[in-house]
């Protein structure tokens, strides 16, 4: 039995708890990046003058703990969302490759015929996999640096510094790209991380395979999806 579209326009996508954990984790990451910047550039040395170097060091550790705990707690309170995410990134197939090949055309403002995508499209899967891998590197090397030479051999901490820095820089660049794509290129996708729903028309165009799954599960009907798309065209 269909539950109908929300306001006859939106498809349920993310649990509120999952979205909240996403934002908290993102906040923790950017605060980690900000509190570490004075170590790498004189431009942000003024933060030492305002807060003090020890305060920033302790703040960096607090946000580091937050960065680690958020997904752990999230897996407990929003298990379904995390399980879907993990399953999706390990199911990269031909349609995802085709999506990635055509995606540059979409960036140029064109509307290529994309292959039906699942809950996450090929680009999202690659981004999630990259961010997860980099996050693991950041956490492991960060803990090594936290323990320091007093516990671990100096050689290990010496190697951890550049690895930690490079992983954080690449992760930051990927995060900026993610923000640009979500807020600039596909703003409709951002709706899924604010109130947990996305437009039916956007879902059908960018996540067609997932919409077909929702239809087969009785969450929505094809008639409802088509009606929502027609209503949007009229507006």
The CATH T-level fold of domain 10-186 is Fumarate Reductase Cytochrome B subunit (1.20.950)
* pLDDT exceeds cutoff 50 at 7: yes
How crowded is residue 74: how many other Cβ atoms within 10 Å of its Cβ? 21
| Mean pLDDT of the chain, nearest integer | 90
Q: What is the pLDDT of residue 171?
A: 97
pLDDT above 80: residue 208: yes
Phi and psi angles of residue 111, each rounded to the nearest 5 degrees, phi first: -125, 75
- Write the pLDDT tens digit of every residue in 103-144: 888 777 777 788 899 999 999 999 999 999 999 999 999 999
- Residue 31's pLDDT is 97
CA–CA separation, 135 and 67 (whole Å): 9
Please give the DSSP secondary-structure letter assigned to residue 198: E
Instruction: Look at residue 1 in the predicted model and tell me its pLDDT.
Output: 41
Distance CA 203, CA 210 (A): 8
Write the pLDDT tens digit of every residue in 23-81: 999 999 999 999 999 999 889 999 999 999 999 999 999 999 999 999 999 999 999 99
Give the residue extent of every domain in the chain: 10-186
Q: What is the pTM of this model?
A: 0.89
Residue 96 in this model has a pLDDT that exceeds 80: yes
Query: Which of 76-80, 89-93, 213-217, 218-222 has the lowest average pLDDT?
Result: 218-222
Query: Residues 135, 116: contact at Cβ < 8 Å?
Result: no
């Amino acid at each position: 039995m269909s539950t109908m579209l929300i306001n006859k326009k939106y498809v349920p996508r993310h649990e509120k708890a999952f979205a909240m954990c996403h934002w908290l984790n993102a906040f923790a990451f950017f605060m980690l990046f900000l509190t570490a910047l004075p170590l790498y550039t004189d431009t942000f040395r003024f933060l030492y003058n305002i807060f003090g170097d020890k305060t920033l060091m302790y703040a960096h550790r607090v946000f580091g703990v937050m960065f680690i705990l958020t997904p752990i707690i999230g897996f407990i309170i929003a298990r379904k969302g995390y399980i879907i995410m993990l399953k999706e990134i390990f199911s990269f197939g031909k349609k995802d490759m085709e999506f990635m090949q055509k995606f540059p055309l979409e960036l140029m403002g064109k509307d290529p015929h994309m292959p039906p995508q699942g809950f996450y499209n090929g680009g999202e899967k690659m981004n999630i996999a990259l961010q997860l891998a980099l996050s693991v590197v950041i956490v492991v090397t960060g803990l090594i640096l936290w323990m320091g030479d007093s516990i671990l051999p100096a050689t290990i901490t010496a190697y951890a510094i550049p690895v930690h820095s490079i992983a954080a820089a690449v992760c930051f660049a990927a995060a900026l790209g993610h923000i640009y794509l979500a807020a600039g290129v596909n703003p409709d996708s951002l709706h899924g991380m604010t109130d947990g729903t996305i437009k039916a028309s956007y879902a059908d165009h960018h996540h067609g395979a997932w919409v077909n799954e929702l239809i087969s599960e009785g969450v929505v009907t094809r008639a409802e999806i088509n009606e929502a798309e027609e209503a949007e065209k009229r507006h």
